[in-house]
Amino acid sequence: MLTRIEGALAGPAAPAVRRNMRIELMSSLAFAPYQAALVFIPVILQRLDAGPNVIALYQSASYIGFFLVPFASRFMPAHNLQRFLAWVWAAGRAFFGLIGLAVTAPAILALSMAGFFLESFPSAAYTRVIQQIYPANIRGRAMGFVRLGLAAGSIAATPLCGWVLDKAGYSVLFPVCGLLAIFSAWIFSHIRIEELPVARLESRALAALWRVVREDRRYRFYLLAVIAFGFGGLIPTAFYPAVIVNRLNLSYTDISLLGAVQSIVWLGGYLLWGHVIDRTSGVWTVRILFAVMSIIPAAYLFATSGWMLLPAAIAQGLGSAGIDLSFQQVTIELAPNERTYEYAVLVRTVIGIRGLIGPLLGVWLSTLGMPPTAIFALGSSLYLLASLLMLSPVFRVPRSTR
């Protein structure tokens, strides 16, 4: 039965590829409760009387590891890269499990910073693993299939997390979810890479990364779009919890129902975008995704009831699935084969810098007198700008002509 489902969703694949797909599927399923629990942290901080500054710092903290990705290759082993990733991820997820012991917003923030750093610091190596274990002609569908575990698990886990928070609080929720996430990392460690590199990943100097920006016009436009897209999502993010708690007065259960809708759409999104990427390209896909996600800030701008956030949940579900698949694919499409890791490092560095600045920029604009409604409108506009940048004729130029 599982083979028939795999065949319908991902197409024909060699037995070794199917084995890795199933391992990643199980890992994603175990990771789902942890992913669902993270959705509630900004609201938990809001209810601990944390202001926009603290919430913005929390959102920025999730990008600390990306900012330091250029230095990650110094620590990457030449062999068993998947096991190295699993150990680092497990350590980071243990910090999130300790959130259950925290009683103040600063303590939650500190633990989150440590967890986020260890989760994202080696992330460029994950692109390298994906490139090695999934053939190019089915990579989008294969990644969509393995993410089904994450999306399907989140459908069940999100309402359950909301119920646990309402009944028992986060002191119960996060230790359990942290243990499951550590188990997820252990499952991932069993992925088998047949063609391992023979030497340690090369450490790229920042100057070498800057040469990519200067010499590769297509990737330069892509990075500009990534910056605009990220600012569109991050600048308003510190003000979303205030809408949920103060304007709409939603309970954790209410939030979890919106999260369940998001997870259902997320599930369908992996199936949809995996096929779209394989039939078109990652570049084409992100054009659509950036425009779709402009709905999110607009929904918070106009919401007067919880149901008015439903379009945001749908757009977030579609967008999260698509971005998860397409960002990996765009880098693989645009980078020369021998420089995929270098290009992945560069985009993650940009994501890290953007992520550190974006939430704090929103708070700074607020201190200058810009109301949250204007900040939400700015967010939607930046999403649309990112979509327009990806329409540049430069992306019609094939790699071989550079």
Question: Please, are residues 249 and 43 in contact by the beta-carbon 8 Å criterion?
Answer: no
> Is position 254 within any domain?
yes
Q: pLDDT at position 18, please?
A: 81
Per-residue three-class SS string for the chain: CHHHHHHHHHCCCCHHHHHHHHHHHHHHHHHHHHHHHHCCHHHHHHHCCCCHHHHHHHHHHCCHHHHCHHHHHHHCCCCCHHHHHHHHHHHHHHHHHHHHHCCCHHHHHHHHHHHHHHHHCCHHHHHHHHHHHCCHHHHHHHHHHHCHHHHHHHHHHHHHHHHHHHHCCHHHHHHHHHHHHHHHHHHHCCCCCCCCCCCCCCCCCHHHHHHHHHHCHHHHHHHHHHHHHHHHHHCCHHHHHHHHHHHCCCCHHHHHHHHHHHHHHHHHHHHHHHHHHHHCCHHHHHHHHHHHCCHHHHHHHHCCCHHHHHHHHHHHHHHHHHHHHHHHHHHHHHCCHHHHHHHHHHHHHHHHHHHHHHHHHHHHHHHCCCCHHHHHHHHHHHHHHHHHHCCCHHHHCCHHHC
Q: pLDDT at position 365, please?
A: 94
Q: pLDDT at position 196, please?
A: 45
- We report the CATH number of the domain holding residue 182 as 1.20.1250.20
> Is position 324 within any domain?
yes
Question: Please, are residues 203 and 336 in contact by the beta-carbon 8 Å criterion?
Answer: no
- Cα 271 to Cα 55, 143, 144, 264, 348: the distances in Å are 33, 9, 6, 11, 25
> Is position 163 within any domain?
yes
> Is position 276 within any domain?
yes
> Is position 391 within any domain?
yes
Q: Which residues of the chain have pLDDT under 50?
A: 196-203, 400-402
The total number of structural domains in the chain stands at 1
Note the pTM of the prediction, 2 decimals. Answer: 0.73
Least Cα distance to 86 among 60, 118, 58 occurs for 118
Q: pLDDT at position 208, please?
A: 62
Structural domain range at position 345: 14-401
> Is position 4 within any domain?
no
> Is position 179 within any domain?
yes
Q: pLDDT digits over 162-217, tens only?
A: 899 888 888 899 999 999 999 999 999 998 887 544 444 444 555 566 677 777 78
> Is position 9 within any domain?
no
